[in-house]
Chain A
Amino acid sequence: MSDPDPSSTGAPVGKRGPELGMAGVLAAIALVVIGDSLRVGIGWADDGPRAGYFPFYIGLLLLGASLAIVLGQLLQWKQPDPVFAERAQLRSVVAVLLPMVVYVAAIWGLGIYLASALLIGFFMRRHGHYRWPLTVAVSVGVPLLLFAVFEKWFLVPLPKGPIERLFGL
């Protein structure tokens, strides 16, 4: 996106933080897997291996791998931190991620067609700087096309909201 952003200075985000964070999350997942496997039993019952038999080792391997990643990071601690992303880059990622989260939340209340129209409209106005007529045409046209393909042609119902109820669909 070509949004001019005067505040896009500042040091780039280093890789070390995200690396350690991701490894930490993986280790936490591993502990959950191991814990739950112990709960359902990792040994043998009368009829064979119990439910935790296989996942337990998966958890152990995941824990081992994430610890190895942490160790690898610690070993190169003295070297300069490679760049994960520039701040301006992260800002454009968030500029897409946030509307996506709002969009998914909006599907619940408004139905997928209205939410999609709003999402496309928002992107075209905010990032593409299109004029209203084209924005409205595309953002209404695409959901209508999707409606025709899914509901009419393939008979797959998608989440609907107040607008569709208004039309009695």
Chain B
Amino acid sequence: MDEITNLMHGFGVALTLPNLGFMLIGLTLGVLIGVLPGLGGANGVAILLPLTFSMNPTSAIIMLSCIYWGALFGGAITSILFNIPGEPWSVATTFDGYPMAQQGRAAQALTAAFTSSFVGALFAVILITFLAPLLAKFALKFGPPEFFAVQLLTFCSFIGTSKEPAAKTLASMMLGFALAAVGMDTVTGQLRMTFGVPELLKGFDFLIAVIGLFGIGEILLTMEEGLAFKGKSAKINFKVVWQTWGELARHWKTFLRSTAIGCWMGITPGGATPASFMSYGMARRMSSEPDSFGKGQIQGVIAPETAAHAAGTSALLPMLTLGIPGSPTAAVLLGGLLIWGLQPGPMLFVEQKDFVWGLIASMYLGNLVGLIVVLTTVPWWAAILRIPFSVIAPVIIVICAIGAYTVHSSMFDVVMMLVFGGVGYVFKKLRYPLAPMVLALVLGDMAEASFRQSMLASQGKLSIFWSNPLVGGITALALVILLWPAVQRLRSWLRARETQPVGDVP
């Protein structure tokens, strides 16, 4: 078993004192970010990324990925105690978590949520450990057409699986691509859409977009809702943890199902948020007492938390092996890889063994340490949420501004952050999804390069995307996922027509 040897080597890399220190810092910051409104995994990592420019890449990714795990854990705390989802993926956790807290079972709900997160992540990391090397080996044979086909699959599955209207998903994605095209064209050296503005030469940085869209936009939304933090308090003691674990063991089927949904949604870029909703829905449908959901059913906490964490973790699988992130936060980490001078993709597993296996080992450790950290420190985090928003909000704005400035030491970026913040607010209000825009902004140049190389190879014929079974299969899958909702709508429309008397159809 090559993987086991590599993994042990990875533990050797991750288990050094400085790396364990970075892990703890990352987890603590992550939980803090997850608890605070306006700061989330994606923009939290984006703000801290510039601080790691001078760090060794392995330590940097361990710290940043631990921020991600911490944020995943932290989202559950606010959902259960305050009925306020700190992160979009913990919205589904509020459905049953908050009622449990109201009934005085906050400690059980929190233990269930943290444990579920841990289990979901653990399965996803095991999946990464054994699947990632295989996928990377397989992807070494990929040429530009295959890479473009995989990117096409990513973007088609956004449109096909998103809950938002397809036109808005497409518009958001294309806006991302358009912004990515601004600046110098790397192939011909020509300037595109700069209109003589020197600041536009380097193009739009996705880190600025992430900080604005998710940070400033979220603050504006929170202000609009008018926050009143009226939370339940909770203390977790060992006895409650032990009892809850006993209860959790009986719901192993929910765990398995939710993990499967989460891993699938994470690898195909559905992301953690839809995974949590889908898993919650499935748990209710499969339950013998569906009416108890929404009233403090523990399975209603297990299902979304397991799926969200499994999805959040497995989103790193395509990022590491193919260079295609499965979630906005994975996209930011991918941007980090590029900044540290590492080329994401299959070659990473050949050339940067220390980095890859150190990261994978740190996922095991980070989630275990994270579980212990959150179980023991819940009351403190709940106390942070009692600080009024009139103090938290300006501090978050200041942190976002600093984060945007430090990316390129440029004030223009801070102004752009404000613009993206306004866009983020309006997009959220009008139900435009933000994730496709961020991913398109990150992948835009790569997608364009692989498309142009494919076109160069085929002299401009699109048939290259069907030229062999591999690329043809991926392209066909992309189109099926893209058109699936339309096919289903057509089918239900036809069925409705059949059941109605012919004369009634207008």
Residues of chain A whose beta carbon lies under 8 Å from any beta carbon of chain B:
1-2, 15, 18-19, 22-23, 26, 29-30, 32-33, 36-37, 40, 44-45, 48-55, 58-59, 61-62, 64-66, 68-69, 72, 84-85, 89-90, 92-93, 95-97, 100-101, 103-104, 107-108, 112, 116, 119-120, 122-124, 126-128, 130, 138, 142-143, 146, 150, 154, 156-159
**List of A residues within 8 angstroms of B220 by Cβ:** 93, 96-97
Partner of B414, one of A15, A58, A104: A104
CA distance A128 to B168 in the complex (A): 38
Q: Which A residues touch B452, using CB under 8 A?
A: 48-49, 53-54
Q: Check B224 against A107 for contact (C-beta < 8 Å).
A: no
Overall SS of chain B's interface:
helix
A44 to B460 alpha-carbon distance, docked (Å): 9
Q: Which of B80-88, B109-117, B352-360, B404-412 contacts A (4 or more CB under 8 A)?
A: B404-412
Report if B167 contacts A (CB, 8 A). yes
Task: Write out the residue numbers on chain A whose beta carbons fall within 8 Å of the beta carbon of B414.
Answer: 104, 107
Q: List 30 A-B contacts (CB under 8 A).
A: A1-B223, A15-B430, A18-B429, A29-B178, A30-B178, A32-B193, A49-B452, A49-B456, A51-B187, A51-B190, A54-B448, A55-B192, A55-B448, A59-B174, A62-B171, A62-B178, A65-B170, A65-B174, A66-B167, A72-B165, A97-B220, A103-B397, A104-B414, A107-B401, A107-B414, A112-B398, A112-B402, A123-B391, A127-B390, A138-B391
Asked if residues B393 and A96 are in contact (CB atoms below 8 Å), the reply is yes
Interface members, chain B 147-186 (any A CB < 8 Å)? 165, 167-168, 170-171, 174-175, 177-178, 181, 185
Contact of A54 among B226, B425, B427, B451 (CB under 8 A): B451
Contact of B167 among A49, A68, A108, A112 (CB under 8 A): A68
Contact A58 B177 (CB under 8 A): yes
Total A-B pairs in contact (CB under 8 Å)? Answer: 178
**Which residues in A have their C-beta under 8 angstroms from that of B418?**
100-101, 104
Q: Are B426 and A22 in contact (CB under 8 A)?
A: yes
Question: Known contacts being A36-B193, A93-B224, is A58 close to B174, with CB within 8 Å?
Answer: yes
State how many angstroms separate the Cβ of A88 from the closest Cβ of chain B. 9
B279–chain A nearest beta-carbon distance, Å = 29
Is there contact, CB below 8 Å, between A119 and B394?
yes
Output the residue of B390, B409, B451 with the most chain A CB within 10 A: B390
CB nearest to B51 among chain A residues: A154
Which B residues from 55 to 77 make CB contacts under 8 A with A? none
Q: State whether A89 and B224 are in contact (beta carbons under 8 Å apart), knowing that A36-B193, A128-B390 are contacts in the complex.
A: yes
**Contacts A36-B193, A142-B398: A1 and B226 contacting too (C-beta < 8 A)?**
yes
Contacts of A146 in B (CB 8 A): 398, 402
Identify which of A40, A58, A154 contacts B178 (C-beta below 8 A).
Answer: A58
Q: Are B51 and A26 in contact (CB under 8 A)?
A: no
Chain B nearest CB from A12 CB (Å) reads 12
What is the CB-to-nearest-CB distance from B409 to chain A, in angstroms, rounded to a whole number? 7
Interface size, chain B (Cβ < 8 Å): 59
A1 to B390, Cβ gap below 8 A? yes
- Most chain A beta carbons < 10 A, residue from B397, B425, B427: B397
For A19, A93, A143, the residue with the greatest tally of chain B CB atoms inside 10 Å of its CB is A93
Separation of A73 and B172 alpha carbons in the complex (Å): 17
Query: Provided the pairs A55-B178, A55-B192 are in contact, do residues A158 and B390 lie with their beta carbons within 8 angstroms?
Result: no
Looking at B393, B422, B448, which has the most chain A CB atoms within 10 Å of its CB?
B393
A-B pairs with lowest CB-CB distance, top 10? A128-B390, A62-B174, A65-B171, A127-B390, A68-B167, A123-B394, A51-B185, A51-B190, A65-B170, A55-B181
Chain B residues with CB below 8 A from A104, complex form:
401, 414-415, 418
A93–B426 CA distance with the chains assembled, in angstroms? 11
Q: Which residues of A contact B165 (CB under 8 A)?
A: 69, 72
Residues of B within 8 A of A23 (CB): 171
- In the docked arrangement, what's the CA distance between A95 and B460, Å? 53
Instruction: Provide the residues of chain A in CB contact with B181, threshold 8 Å.
Output: 33, 54-55, 58
